[in-house]
Amino acid sequence: MSIDYTERIPNNVDLAGDRRLQRALESWQPRFLQWWGEMGPALPTQDVYLRTAVDVGRAGWAHFDRVRLPDYRWGIFLAERDPDRRIAFGQHQGEPVWQQVPGEHRASLQRLIVVQGDTEPASVEQQRRLGLTAPSLYDLRNLFQVNVEEGRHLWAMVYLLHAYFGRSGRDEAEALLLRNSGSEDSPRILGAFNEETPDWLSFFMFTYFTDRDGKYQLGTLKESAFDPLSRTCEFMLKEEAHHMFVGTTGVDRVVERTAQLMREHDTDDIARHGGIPLPVIQKYLNFHYSVSLDLFGGETSTNVANYYSSGLKGRWQEERRGDDHVLTSAVTTIERPGGERIVSVELPALTALNHDLRTAYIGDCETGVTRWNRILDSHGITGHRLALPHVGFNRKVGAFAGCHVTPGGRVVDAATWAAGRLAWLPAPADKAHVESLMRPVYEPGKIAAWLAPPRSGINGQPLDYEYVRF
């Protein structure tokens, strides 16, 4: 079904055919816009060159135009329904997927949707002030694109809450606008979404590592037996690809510029030449990677095992897996601290599904590190390498919480950790240096000196296109 843009809430779910639901969502809409006004981008603009979804099909789903930010058409877009779709895993494997929520899974499904939904507006709040220091109009436009789409992902989850979870769903939809990132009284649900995103290096690391966690979580919900959730997540993943692109190419460009400055001045100490030194990039990477690993939860979880067996949440690329999709007899190996060392233990695969998802995520993160090192190579910088820290480094959740592990994977005592911390995580001086580089560049085609220009513009537009107008 194509998207109906004549409605107050653009949608492809025939909202007009359900007056009660339509009215409920139309009464949530002004509260969303108020939230956007208060917690969305702080930089005033006239219009922004944005893409808007116009269809959910494979080809030509997006339309690009200049849009006033508050007039962006947030709406409800689900991927096409497959009438033959069947449950791919768990005890209901092979049965038709559900179009309604089974009573016994109501609470669990609602919780999964709320936790996912809570991350979407959180990132908009975290990135609220970044526009004030954008390194170019191209980057500013990408920031706003990510922001409006995260706002739309909130809509996606709120639609499910309103349409399928009755009174308690509507209450949860309200609460999604009341919690705020970093708030003392009512913070966002997950830790990484209460961290600040104070500068653009953090933003690129966030979109690389934390948005990528989102991609993997959505991937498990896309497998859900609850079909509306599956279809919602499938379309969200399509939008999410651009967020990954912003992160990957953002870090590319920082590394590229750093490498250029190192060659040009024949020194590693490029801070005084207006660049971000490689060790600082590594520390930001260490931080964002480790807090993103926390988002996968504990390595083992009986809740998640139950979600899997009952069909609520699958594995990453469930249907491409060559096993029985039930996992009652499968085992897997995980690492965890054992006294002074890190040891491997064998566990039932079913209880280690968070670990399974995290493993897929880590493999994906490695591809970024490989490409950034290739950029260093291409500039003849061979003595330095970027690397993902050990999975136990700086963890607050799971088997490694409360245990001190170096980036290299050595278990150390509290004193050694305290002594190493400034070398492993962004230190006050690193943050102050990065902050000192954050000066806005709003002239079309111009770019801040601490990162390389992008390879091409957006949607075939030239680099000096006026992506944002004031």
Distance CA 90, CA 97 (A): 12
| Residues 287/394, Cβ–Cβ less than 8 Å | yes
User: Per-residue contact track with Fe ion, 151 to 170, x per CB under 5 A?
Assistant: --x-----------------
Contacts of 96 (CB under 8 A, 6+ apart): 85, 86, 87
Interface region with Fe ion, contact rule CB under 5 A, candidates 194-202, 239-247, 384-392, 417-425: 239-247
Contact set for Fe ion, span 273-332 (CB under 5 A) = none
The smaller minimum CB distance to Fe ion, of residues 120 and 223, is found at 120
Alpha carbon distance 438, 152 (integer Å): 28
Look up residue 301 and give its amino acid: S
* Nearer CB in complex with Fe ion: 127/394: 127
If the CB atoms of residues 141 and 243 are measured against Fe ion, the closer one turns out to be 243
Q: Least distance from C-beta 281 to Fe ion, angstroms?
A: 22
- What letter does residue 208 receive in the DSSP assignment? I
- Closest to Fe ion by CB, 79 vs 447, is 79
Of 87 and 122, the one with the shorter C-beta distance to Fe ion is: 122
* Contact partners, residue 114, CB within 8 Å, separation at least 6: 157, 161, 172, 175, 176, 189
Contact string 182-211 vs Fe ion (x = CB under 5 A): -----------------------------x
**Quick one: 88 or 158, whose CB is closer to Fe ion?**
158
In the complex, the smallest distance separating the C-beta of residue 120 from Fe ion, rounded to whole angstroms, is 5
Please choose, out of 16-24, 150-158, 358-366, 431-439, the segment that lies near Fe ion by the rule CB under 5 A: 150-158
What minimum distance in Å lies between the beta carbon of 87 and Fe ion? 25
Which of residues 150 and 318 has its CB atom nearest to Fe ion in the complex? 150
CA–CA dist 285, 426 (Å, integer): 9
Among 49-57, 124-132, 236-244, 330-338, the segment contacting Fe ion (CB under 5 A): 236-244
Please count the residues of this chain forming the interface with Fe ion, following the rule CB under 5 A.
6
Least separation in angstroms between residue 240's CB and Fe ion is: 5
The three-point CA angle 195-197-198 to 5° equals: 120
Nearer to Fe ion, 229 or 334 (CB): 229
In single-letter form, the type of residue at position 362 comes to: I
Closest approach of Fe ion to the CB of residue 347, in Å: 31
- Touching Fe ion, residues 394-453 (CB under 5 A): none
Q: How far is the CB of 197 from Fe ion (least distance, A)?
A: 13
Q: Does 243 bind Fe ion (CB under 5 A)?
A: yes
Find out whether 353 and 335 touch, Cβ atoms under 8 Å: no
Phi-psi region of 288 (alpha: psi -120 to 50; beta: other; left: phi over 0): alpha
* Helix (H) or strand (E) segment spanning residue 468: strand 468-469
Residue 305 CB, shortest distance to Fe ion, in Å, is: 26
Take residue 435 and report the two structure tokens written for it: 């902050």
Candidates 97-105, 235-243, 272-280, 329-337 — which segment interacts with Fe ion by CB under 5 A? Answer: 235-243
> What are the b/e assignments for 120-156, b being 16+ CB within 10 Å?
bbbbbbbbbebbebbbbbbbbbbbbbbbbbbbbbbbb
**H-only helix segments in 57-196:** 106-126, 137-164, 166-178
Residue 214: CB minimum distance to Fe ion, A: 5
CA neighbor of 381 nearest in space, from 209, 246, 208, 265: 265
User: Applying CB under 5 A, which part among 69-77, 115-123, 172-180, 323-331 lies near Fe ion?
Assistant: 115-123
In whole angstroms, how close is the CB of 103 to Fe ion at the nearest point? 29
Least distance CB 22 / Fe ion (angstroms): 24
Is the Cβ–Cβ distance between 177 and 32 less than 8 Å? yes
Q: Which is nearer to Fe ion, 139 or 256 (CB)?
A: 139
254: tokens are: 């920082």
Q: Which amino acid is at 329?
A: S
378 contact partners, CB below 8 Å, separation of at least 6: 259
**Span near Fe ion by CB under 5 A; candidates 10-18, 116-124, 263-271, 407-415:** 116-124
Q: Is the CB of 122 or the CB of 280 nearer to Fe ion?
A: 122
| Number of DSSP helices (H) and strands (E) in the chain, helices first | 12, 5
Residue ranges that bind Fe ion, judged by CB under 5 A: 120, 150, 153, 211, 240, 243
